[in-house]
Structure 1
């Protein structure tokens, strides 16, 4: 069979996504199976060599799980220890006390922006979701009202504000000033997070009814269901344990400033600053702060770790399959066709950066891949065009584009769907729409900033 070329690739991609959504929502087929089936059929339909279709899916699945599985597993263990010790309850109680129940969604956005700065979206999510579950339970409010501001805050810093890894790569590609980028990123990012987070959550949570029972939420608040009074861990030690991986990752990003590159101290900081190692250290520390210090013995701690992993097995498989689907889109030539379509349009560098990143995001599902790939495409075009556009604003426009409309080929889509207990349709109406608001408003505010500067 001859490979499909040109715009027909885009048509096949649209058909594949539509079929995937229909099979999951209308016919209630398990998403993991649907993602495999649609990925294989898409590869066959566009004429990929038969021998490479399965390999492409396995590669995408493996690449995604190589990071996500470890992060979700270690993050879930940390969350479980925090829940069993009462740490999540302590943080929830303190936030409610400081902000009041009426304004708790603002607190969740602020915490997410702080925690999300040095870490990938998935890491920040697994660190904060136990707190969101506990705040929702204690206030009796919808998890959407608590959780959407949290994921909006994480997403904004993921795409717009260094020292987040994706934004930092864009700063380097465009030769932007990091100080200005951070300042402009906050000017654009904070209002964007406010609209897409607390304000959007206030509007949408009334129209989305989540299931009464969420088995994942039960993992993180089970200990709080007991009526027996107990002493909770201190706020300081709880916060330190939760933020330990964040602090370690910050140290890793500063390693070259603190020590000469390729020296032992420098290499050690880079090592402990990787997300996997930082989370592992935090989990081991939690065995003492949330475990031994709270009176739990070794057998109980081991049981907590074993029990919390079973509910995330399905999520992990679905997230990996989403990565496999994204890889088939790339290896089939669909992603390249999207890029070619974008670069042939004669538009302003800011809009081009946003547009290319948005199309790659839609095709691959990864904001990081979209941002880094778009930078490589747009940077020479912007330089050759001679347009007087500040490189810091190009970073923001590209970052905003990389966040648009998370859908079925994005691991984050399935992560949020499963943890929030939503259907695919509800996830589109909440998370996907939240991401689109961030992307469009981020672009609009970047243009407004460009007009002022």
Structure 2
């Protein structure tokens, strides 16, 4: 993925160092800005876009930077971030909408569940969620899968947590660790990581993580919270308007996995060939870029999903249009997070952390994870935690290898998932869909998120020892 270095970003903002504040003042400014963002989001229920904007301006002022230069840094960071990932988020939303409206998602669900029985059901649910979760945002995946979870639990007389936790784990791991989800994409851009290598290592980390946090942890979650599927939610299970035909299972899976396969192919060729002048590598560099890979999947999906479901050209156009409106808020939050990150960089916080870390005994990967954990606990947003933490640790990636930088992205992503609680919208979404109390949601969902975060970090640290 083409991205700008930290110096390039600063130049793009039209600024040099915008403050001469010392370490103490910068530290206080960062803590105050983060505290302000937390207060605005959690106490005043202000939209994260506005909170991040106000927090960025406050950061610059408290660090002693001129307000005009702070505004320039924020807007430059916002623009760079949206330019880097905005189109990818839009393409992912279109693919997800095609998958949902065509019945392709239902086809995957029905096919996998038809082959799973008894003890295999939790494993089937984590597989479904992981595949469905590749092109879908977390909230969309929950809305899509929860009716399936409730019906499977009811009809098969399964514990709700035994079925639900694997599905949630699959969605959450995809959301935090695997591009093209917004958080990992922004971290790849901020840390200048190779997207293909990050994707490949992300899959390696995701597999054991989702197994431990999903089917294995669900055994304990089912004991701690033994509740049936709520009848009112089952009654409200999505009343879908069935398309004329469903796309075939093979074609649906092919479409969903196409962008992932193209990006992995690009990473493999880059490693094996390692010659920018080689014609094969030049071709794979183009088709394996995230923009082209996702665009190809969308175009293919219009035929394998939309046309296969009997969609007319008008219906296809309407589907694309409907997919874009809901992501406006996501784009604004991601963009504002990029603006906050750039403000952190331009006031010198990144360099401050780099200087201080030279005397710390904390490994870089663990430090990145801890910073992401702190921001996640404070703001409740995995995406905000990923974007902010990536901006803070970006200077640490300057001298790292391609593999090391990719692992740094995954470390930040793992930290961003730590212990979802009451300031996270996902917490309330899960609570309401499963009909649980706050305490029950903490025992299941919150603990599951913590397991994902800790196991993910452990896998990253293990890979750092062998790669």
TM value normalised by structure 2 = 0.67
Matches within 5 A, 1:295-314: 295-314=310-329
**Structure 2 residue aligned with 1:151:** 172
**Structure 2 residue aligned with 1:78:** 95
1:337 aligned to 2:348? no
Q: Distance in 1 between matches of 2:302 and 2:399?
A: 46
Q: From 11, 21, 25, give the equivalent of 2:42.
A: 25
TM-fit CA distance, 1:55: 1.4
Number of equivalent positions = 397
Q: Distance in 2 between matches of 1:301 and 1:448?
A: 45
Structure 2 regions of 5+ residues with no counterpart? 1-17, 151-159, 180-184, 376-384, 433-437
**Distance change (3 Å), C-alpha of 1:30 and 1:242:** same
TM-fit CA distance, 1:77: 1.1
Q: Distance in 1 between matches of 2:93 and 2:118?
A: 26
Does the aligned pair in 2 maintain the 1:87–1:290 contact within 8 Å? yes
**Root-mean-square deviation (CA), in Å?**
5.0
Q: From 332, 347, 365, give the equivalent of 1:354.
A: 365
Does the aligned pair in 2 maintain the 1:356–1:374 contact within 8 Å? no
TM-fit CA distance, 1:435: 6.6
TM-fit CA distance, 1:148: 3.3
Does the aligned pair in 2 maintain the 1:370–1:402 contact within 8 Å? no
1:232 aligned to 2:246? yes
Does the aligned pair in 1 maintain the 2:130–2:174 contact within 8 Å? yes
TM-fit CA distance, 1:36: 1.0
**Distance change (3 Å), C-alpha of 1:248 and 1:398:** closer
**Distance change (3 Å), C-alpha of 1:378 and 1:73:** closer
Does the aligned pair in 1 maintain the 2:88–2:290 contact within 8 Å? yes
Q: Distance in 1 between matches of 2:317 and 2:97?
A: 11
TM-fit CA distance, 1:74: 1.0
Does the aligned pair in 2 maintain the 1:319–1:415 contact within 8 Å? no
1:405 aligned to 2:388? no
**Structure 2 residue aligned with 1:374:** 396
**Distance change (3 Å), C-alpha of 1:2 and 1:62:** closer
TM-fit CA distance, 1:115: 9.3
TM-fit CA distance, 1:192: 3.6
Q: Distance in 2 between matches of 1:156 and 1:3?
A: 36
**Distance change (3 Å), C-alpha of 1:70 and 1:99:** farther
Q: Distance in 2 between matches of 1:63 and 1:2?
A: 22
TM-fit CA distance, 1:404: 5.0
**Structure 2 residue aligned with 1:48:** 65
TM-fit CA distance, 1:9: 1.8
Q: Distance in 2 between matches of 1:104 and 1:33?
A: 43
Does the aligned pair in 1 maintain the 2:369–2:412 contact within 8 Å? yes
**Structure 1 residue aligned with 2:182:** none
**Alpha-carbon deviations, 1:12-66, whole Å to 9, x = none?**
2122212212112221222222211111121111112333211111122122212
Does the aligned pair in 2 maintain the 1:109–1:197 contact within 8 Å? yes
TM-fit CA distance, 1:302: 0.6
Q: Distance in 1 between matches of 2:289 and 2:232?
A: 35
**Structure 1 residue aligned with 2:300:** 285
